Amino acid sequence: MTRIFDAATWGAELCVAGDDVLAGELSLREESLRRKVAFYLDADGLPMCQSSCAPAEWYPTLVTRMTSAVISHGRAVVSIDAALPLHSSILDVAFPGAGSDRSMVDITVVDLSRHRRTLHAEIPSHLVVTGTIALALSPVGSARRTAPQEHETAIG
């Protein structure tokens, strides 16, 4: 199955090479194995260490390692070795190096802070704990609380 990565979603140009995902010439799986810590991809597909990024910086792709994965009855719970930005949602997910036999399921991603985010996406039939996972993130604006509008009517 060929996977298409929309740059509007992922931020960087990504493509499939075998069962790996590439950002330009950079193998996400190999870079994840080399770094052993989470990293973002900038718009050019270059890795940026998550721990060296300021909280105000935003990158739409996070690559990290899984620490556990449980798949059962059309649902998956995947724990990751990174903290997701607090005000973010997950638009898409990829599993570089995990093979091509996939199915659609509800995937709940649990980060280091125990925050959970769920999406409906493709998951490989065989995941390896400590395998690589890439997440397409989207910022979520803070909810605004507004007071009810009072309408005055002029009687004249």
Distance between CA 19 and CA 47 in Å, rounded?
Answer: 20
* Residue % of the chain over a pLDDT of 90: 60
In the predicted structure, residue 137 carries a pLDDT above the cut 70: yes
Enumerate the H helices of the chain as residue ranges: 7-10, 28-35
- What pLDDT is attached to residue 140? 87
Residues 6+ apart with CB under 8 A from 47: 26, 31, 35, 39, 40, 41, 63
Tell me the whole-structure pTM to 2 decimals: 0.85
Q: Select 7-139's CATH number: 3.40.50.700, 1.20.1250.20, 2.40.37.10, 3.40.50.720.
A: 2.40.37.10
pLDDT at 97: 85
What pLDDT does 148 receive?
Answer: 41
**Cα separation, 97 vs 150, whole angstroms:** 58
| Mean pLDDT within 126-139 | 92
